[in-house]
A and B are shown apart, each in its own frame.
Chain A
Amino acid sequence: MSNASLSAARDGNAPLGNARWQTPEALRRISRRNAAERRFKLIGLGAIVLSLAFLALLLVIMLKNGLGGLDWSFLSGSDSTDPDIAGVWGAAKGSLLTMAVTLLLSFPMGVLAAIYLEEFAPRSRWIEWVEVSINNLAAVPSIIFGLLGLAVFINTLGMPRSSPLVGGLTLALMTMPVIVISGRNAIKAVPPSIRDAALAIGASKMQTVFHHVLPLALPGILTGTIIGMARALGETAPLLMIGMRAFVVTPPGGITDPSSVLPMQIFLWSDEIDTGFVQNTSAAIIVLLVFLLAMNGLAIYLRNKFEVRW
């Protein structure tokens, strides 16, 4: 717009300069906008406070109920019908073994699938179909994965019921799509100019991906992996289906021994009538939360460690 049309658009009698913003209407408009901004900030803050308050409430109740039960015999014992003898170690060890199986399977599979889909797969109808399937897989309710694990791993392949092996395999199926999706996003976020740079000095596609793209995508992939693993750690429903709700009084010696996991132990104890188990339930929740916090802490540490700045 030219200067002439600008002044033509302005009312002939309207004040110029800063005075134009000091008229009663202008001041009202500005104060209305400021008020809207203040209201929005307040509502946003309220939303945060509300959700944090529930978290605080949970923590306070758990600590109040459970802290008294957290002693060495609780941390080192296994399940029992007597709440004073019952401990969490059996379930914790079951969780550790299950997570190990899950990680060993879902991480390499998920990362390789993500690399293939993002860097090597030709654009075709078939690949689009694979992508849609993986996204859908991430949204399948976990109980369905439990049924799948029961049908395939236990009934068809004859693997031992209630074992961390089957639990880990089942949770790996659930975690893999999460890793594929976060891995693809991390790979996509690596600037194409880095690929060009490597290709232009005669690096092969493989070298470009493994020497340059993957190291830069690693922090994002690790973060996604740990978020997926944390979800798997808290998962109960699919493990119900494969029999990990068994009453196990000795910690599993290996991945094929019958075992429980932490969230399952919480579920089992919360069902008990004996009041002694209320304290055990709360104490086990504290142990599970510490586990989860440790994993999130690890995620942040790894992301910062591998992050490359430029």
Chain B
Amino acid sequence: MTNSKLTARNVDVFYGQKKAINNVSIEIDNGIVTAFIGPSGCGKSTFLRSLNRMNDTIADARVTGEILLDGEDIYAAAMDPVALRARVGMVFQKPNPFPKSIYENIAYGPRIHGLAPAKADLDGIIESSLTKAGLWDEVKDRLNEPGTALSGGQQQRLCIARAIAVSPEVILMDEPCSALDPIATARIEELIDELKESFAIVIVTHSMQQAARVSQRTAFFHLGNLVEYGDTSQIFTTPREEKTKDYITGRYG
């Protein structure tokens, strides 16, 4: 086996009768950032949500094919979706902190998974998660203030800290900067670059510049198909497919 963390083989995703993802096979590696790009409605978010079975919450969504995490089929009966989501964390488009304190936002995950038996352990996890998310210095004196009182960029970093706190192996990010201003976006991008040392990161983005800046691999989706997948530098300089070239040069999308 290679360095591949997540492997998808011939994956189809259906919403009722509608096929949203068509026969996608892809390998996502450890230690790098993989970007999914493509025009709106191309299925990149749908595919991302099938990687931690968040699609299970949509009543008529159905996934066929194989998705392997470290070689184990995540849709197999033996794989508990709850345990899977602790291993494959997710950050959403709009920052969605719980309407609780900053401390409680991060403490929730470790608590339900029993990761911190003592208060001191929990405090340690809170500090290290916030530090990794680049938020510790800004909030260390006001951990009891509501997480929702932070600015948008801080809220998104809080959500990242919350995802890190349960020590996942993969972090999925669904357009994490689309609700943020350029400065907050730059902070998150720096953060993503640091985090890739510890986690496999998959990011869905509408911004091609962002994909070019933060990712090492890029996958281009169009109408539910994976059109092209390769090193980011190659995709953006010498795309093999005509469609990829048209998209990255701004011909459509």
Instruction: Given A202-B166, A207-B112, check contact A193 B92 (CB 8 Å).
Output: yes
CA distance in complex: A1, B30 (Å) = 53
Q: Which residues of A are found within 8 Å of B94, using beta-carbon distances?
A: 193
Is B54 in contact with chain A by the CB < 8 A criterion?
A: yes
Q: Contact at A204–B90, with CB atoms within 8 Å?
A: no
In the assembled complex, which residues on chain B have CB atoms less than 8 Å from the CB atom of A198?
Answer: 98, 108
Question: Within the complex, what minimum Cβ distance (angstroms) separates A211 from chain B?
Answer: 7
Q: Known interface pairs A123-B59, A195-B57, A310-B146. Does A201 touch B96 (Cβ–Cβ under 8 Å)?
A: no
Q: Which of A188-236 contact B (CB under 8 A)?
A: 191, 193-204, 207, 211-212, 216
Instruction: List 10 A–B pairs whose Cβ atoms lie within 8 Å, in order of A's numbering.
Output: A193-B94, A197-B159, A198-B108, A200-B85, A200-B89, A200-B90, A201-B86, A202-B83, A203-B82, A309-B99
Q: B129 to nearest A CB, angstroms?
A: 11
Say yes or no: is A108 at the interface (Cβ < 8 Å to chain B). no
A122 within 8 Å of B (CB atoms): yes
| Whole-angstrom CA separation of A310 from B59 in the bound complex | 29
Chain B residues with CB under 8 Å of A202's CB are 82-87, 109, 112-113, 166
Contact residues of A: prevailing secondary structure: helix
B interface residues, how many (CB within 8 angstroms): 30
Question: How many angstroms from the CA of A100 to the CA of B125 in the assembled complex?
Answer: 46
Chain A residues engaging chain B, CB cutoff 8 angstroms? 122-123, 191, 193-204, 207, 211-212, 216, 308-310
Residues of B within 8 A of A123 (CB): 59
Decide if B153 is an interface residue (CB 8 Å cutoff).
no
A200, B112: Cβ atoms under 8 Å? no
User: Is the pair B96, A194 in contact by a Cβ cutoff of 8 Å?
Assistant: yes
Q: Which of B130-179 contact A (CB under 8 A)?
A: 146, 148, 159, 162-163, 165-166
> Contact between A201 and B109 (Cβ–Cβ < 8 Å)?
yes
